[in-house]
Structure 1
Amino acid sequence: MTIQRLENVGIVVEDLEAVKAFFVDLGLTVMGEGPAEGEWVDRVGGLEGVRLDVVMLRTPDGNGRLELMRYRAPAALDGFGHAPPNTLGLHRVGFAVDDIDAAVAGLRARGVRLVGELVRYEDAYKLCYVRGPEGIIVMLAEQLG
């Protein structure tokens, strides 16, 4: 077996529309959206009576995908919330951007705040973390040179 690619990163959310709008504003496009339920959903997730709404987003280069899910049943469990970046578990997604200063300015204009600071890592990257809806941490990185 050889891994071919990263298929997607999944994030369970409460306010699907707000989270979708946040990522669309960042530049992702909606590939598809709709409900998912039935025996296959129950079996793959090891739950019973699953009913959820799904939005699949794609990065502009077409290679990255982000799957947003809102569970109608069973109810989603409280998780990381507004956990800091050093919390165990998966709770950050990162995107390469061509102009991080413009990206941060646009996000700030919409009320999004940085988790820390916009920093330069050697001569390689400028990067920052922003906190999106529902506490999701998004890393933005601009490759330099």
Structure 2
Amino acid sequence: MKLEKMDHVGIVIEDLEEVKHFFKTLGLELIGEQNVNGEWINNIYGVDAVEATIAMMKIHNGETAIELIKFHNQVETSNETKYFPKNIGASHFAFAIQNIEQVVENLKSTSSNIIGEIIQYEDLYKLCYIKGPEGIFVELAEKL
């Protein structure tokens, strides 16, 4: 057995339009969106009567996608912390970018916030963390 590549990362979200806007502003493109329901999705998630909208986004010419999953019949949840989480498990996405200052400026049109500040790590990178909508944490890394 050989792993070939990472295909996508899934994120369960509540406000699909807001999250799509955030990732579009970051530079990803929408490659598909559809409403799903039925036995196959019920079986894969191990629940009954799932209705969802799934939107796939990726970097232009990239291979790995982000799958945004909006359940239409889920209980509301909240992620109120504005700071970086210390929870065990997945914590953030990292994107290699150019012109970190401009990207951060562009993201001001979304509901995201920069955490801390843009820092320079040795002579290697400029880095920062962004808290996007719905508690999605993103690391931006500009190679120097």
TM-score by length of 2: 0.89
Shift of 1:39: 1.0
Structure 1 residues 29 and 76: alpha-carbon distance in aligned structure 2, compared to 1, 3 A threshold: farther
Does the 8 Å CA contact 1:119/1:128 hold for their aligned counterparts? yes
Structure 2 partner of 1:48: 48
Alignment of 1:30-41 (within 5 A): 30-41=30-41
The residue that corresponds to 2:77 in the other structure is 78
Alignment of 1:8-19 (within 5 A): 8-19=8-19
| Larger strand proportion of the pair | 2
1:55 and 1:37 map into 2 onto residues whose CA distance is 14
Query: CA, structure 1 residues 81+68, in 2 after alignment: closer, same or farther (shift >3 Å)?
Result: farther
Query: Is it true that 1:120 corresponds to 2:120 in the alignment?
Result: yes
> C-alpha separation between the residues in 2 aligned to 1:76 and 1:41?
18
Q: 5+ unaligned residues in a row in structure 2: which ranges? A: none
Q: Percent identity?
A: 38
1:52–1:69 Cα contact (<8 Å) kept: yes
What amino acid is the match of 2:27?
G
Deviations 1:93-120 (A, max 9, x none): 1111111111112223556321122111
Q: Which structure 1 residue ranges, 5 or more long, are not aligned? A: none
Is residue 28 of structure 2 the alignment partner of residue 28 of structure 1? yes
Shift of 1:89: 2.2
Per-residue displacement from partner, 1:54-75 (whole Å, max 9, x unpaired)?
Answer: 10001123222101011013x1
The 1:104–1:44 alpha-carbon spacing in structure 2 relative to 1, beyond 3 Å, is same
Query: Would you say the 8 A contact 1:129–1:138 is kept in 2?
Result: yes
**Partner SS, residue 3 of structure 1:** coil
RMSD: 1.9
CA contact (8 A) 1:8 1:66 kept: yes
TM-score, reference length from structure 1: 0.88
8 Å Cα contact 2:32/2:57 also seen in 1: yes
Paired letter, 2:36: A
Q: In structure 2, how many angstroms separate the alpha carbons of the residues matched to 1:111 and 1:79?
A: 15
1:111 to 1:31, Cα distance in 2 relative to 1, 3 A: closer
Contact 1:80 1:91 in 2 (8 A): no
Q: Could you tell me how far apart the structure 1 residues matched to 2:47 and 2:127 are?
A: 38
Amino acid paired to 2:125:
Y
Equivalent residue number for residue 98 of structure 1: 98
Q: Structure 2 CA distance, aligned partners of 1:48 and 1:33?
A: 22
Q: What's the secondary structure of 2:61's corresponding residue?
A: coil
